[in-house]
Structure 1
Amino acid sequence: MPDVEYLRYVALGDSQTEGVGDGDDTTGLRGWADRLAEHLAALNPELRYANLAVRGRVAGQVRAEQLAPALALRPDLVTVVAGVNDLLRPSFDAGRVAGQLEEMFAALTASGARVLTLTFPDVARIAPIARPVRGRVFDVNDRIREAAARHGVTVADLAPLPVATDPRLWSEDRLHASPLGHARIAAAAAYALGLPGSDDTWALPLPPQRLPSRLNAAGAELRWAAGFLGPWIGRRLRGRSSGDGRAAKRPELLPLGGPSPAAASS
């Protein structure tokens, strides 16, 4: 159980923290950070929450664009999750990405905030075509754990758990968590923070499901490559990002409206 009640929660990051995969741009995005805020608000209705995350941002952009505004909001709880977009770029440098994350860890913990971050699952188990970058994921995760330890940052370490790569936790594009995946991430964060009402059931495997035949699996890979991988590569070649022209969905600390379900609800 935490020693304090959190009053000011600020989330930094990219599309996962923005909530892509959990809702849509018409009806609104929820996402794991919103779900964690709902859990916090259920414990303390005085909670104020800001979400500065913007899709497509690499770690350096999160640091450059979101760190100063986050510090200005004087949060007592911050989540920092970035680096996935770096992993997919030819210019990837694990040391540089980890250094950018550590700069944020250092500045935010020095301000007195409790900071939480996540590790990333094995992308090759989610999208086999991503196998060439799986070593990058392992490297970044190790560096995140080391940097977090140096600054007293809490880590929700999802990476080692088999359930983290269950296809049902991922949306059709395989880049973003599904609603169930966002719920599990929020529950993992709540448990890592020691919030009342949290437990470790988020780490349990889902019920078994029938595996597709090799032919169906191959067809699914081709459809995914055409529907999602191809457009993503096209944007990279044109120097564009899914976050171009977008701003944070919740730049100010505001109370949550509506019901406050538990973080693990879906």
Structure 2
Amino acid sequence: MSGFGTNDLTSKDILSYVALGDSFTEGMSDPYPDSDSVPNGRYRGWADRVAEHLADAVGEVRYANLAVRGRLIRQIVDEQLPRAVELSPDLITLCAGGNDIIRPGADPDAVAAVFAEAVAELSRTGARIVVFTGFDTNWQPVMRHMRGRIATYNMHLRAIADRYGCDVVDVWSMRALDDARAWNWDRLHLSPEGHRRLALRVCEVLGVPADGDWNEPWPPAEPRDWRAARQEDLHWAREFLVPWIHRRLTGRSSGDDVTAKRPGLEPLRRER
């Protein structure tokens, strides 16, 4: 640990970084560019990209990513938080609760209470903590009905961040992510370009230098007629929505046989 308080820590003081969360932080749908398939089932994602930007800034950063796809907030607290405390890093990113909030009948107040417990425990490490608001689903017709629930959770997250002095990455306000090209075909995970833009936004919040503009306008999209859009909706429902509902009903998760891709603080060096 650097020994700096939360508000005193700068990018030059961040020599170790631990990421906690679910598929969002694991980096799903962002395969490494030097492989046609995901190497050993592992993805890159915005957190790996942030660690790379940190390494560019300071020469070397020790980085752990404990996130596992499908994890609910209580699982993240029980499985990942103790390890993060043990590692005692300079920087912690925490994004949790999304899988809870999108479930039918979810209570954002109850989920936020667990999130507050996690932040309280992590804050005792002295690390700089970054938390994330939920996405605005207004652009997604099938998931638009969840918008109010997500907004309520976001207000809780902001209050918790204020209470413990956390940085906030306001993903809700990132209108660049309203474009379908920022998302994978399943409409829940960011595309490689979405992950790239989010990493740049995180670096902006941290004050870490990084080339690129997360809010750069997208090039004009190719026109689509309503028939093509309808076919895409049907394909999405058949290939993703139905299997997702089935897993929920049977108590299974996409992460049942998955472990953290970087369970320890491993060196990540600047590319020469």
TM-score strictly above 0.5: yes
Count of residue pairs brought into register by the alignment: 258
Shift of 1:48: 0.4
1:123 corresponds to = 137
1:19 corresponds to = 27
1:256 aligns with 2:229: no
1:8 aligns with 2:16: yes
Residue 231 of structure 1 aligns with an amino acid whose one-letter code is P
Q: Which residue, 225, 231, 250 being the options, matches 1:213? A: 225
Secondary structure, aligned partner of 1:159: helix
1:239 corresponds to = 251
What are the within-5 Å matches in structure 2 for residues 128-143 of structure 1?
Answer: 128-143=141-156
Q: Which residue, 124, 127, 132 being the options, matches 1:113? A: 127
Identify if the C-alpha distance between structure 1 residues 196 and 10 changes in structure 2 by more than 3 Å, giving closer, same or farther.
Answer: same
Runs of 4+ off more than 6 Å: none
Aligned residues of 1:190 and 1:198 also touching (Cα < 8 A)? no
Residue 16 of structure 2 aligns with an amino acid whose one-letter code is R
Post-superposition CA distance 1:117-159 (Å, at most 9, x none) = 111222241x311122111111111111111111110011121
1:176 corresponds to = 189
Aligned residues of 2:55 and 2:270 also touching (Cα < 8 A)? no
Residue 178 of structure 2 aligns with an amino acid whose one-letter code is T
2-side partners of 1:229 and 1:3: how far apart? Answer: 40
Aligned residues of 1:121 and 1:165 also touching (Cα < 8 A)? no
Instruction: Compute the RMSD of aligned alpha carbons.
Output: 1.9
Aligned residues of 1:124 and 1:130 also touching (Cα < 8 A)? yes
Residue 215 of structure 1 aligns with an amino acid whose one-letter code is R
| Percent of aligned positions that are identical | 46
Shift of 1:237: 1.2
Q: Which residue, 142, 145, 160 being the options, matches 2:173? A: 160
**Comparing 66-75 and 140-149, the one that deviates more:** 140-149
Secondary structure, aligned partner of 2:18: strand
2-side partners of 1:258 and 1:8: how far apart? Answer: 14
2-side partners of 1:142 and 1:206: how far apart? Answer: 29
Secondary structure, aligned partner of 2:163: helix
Unaligned runs of 5+ residues in structure 1 are 261-266
Post-superposition CA distance 1:85-127 (Å, at most 9, x none) = 01221241111211222222222222110001111222241x3
Secondary structure, aligned partner of 2:143: helix
Aligned residues of 2:16 and 2:265 also touching (Cα < 8 A)? yes
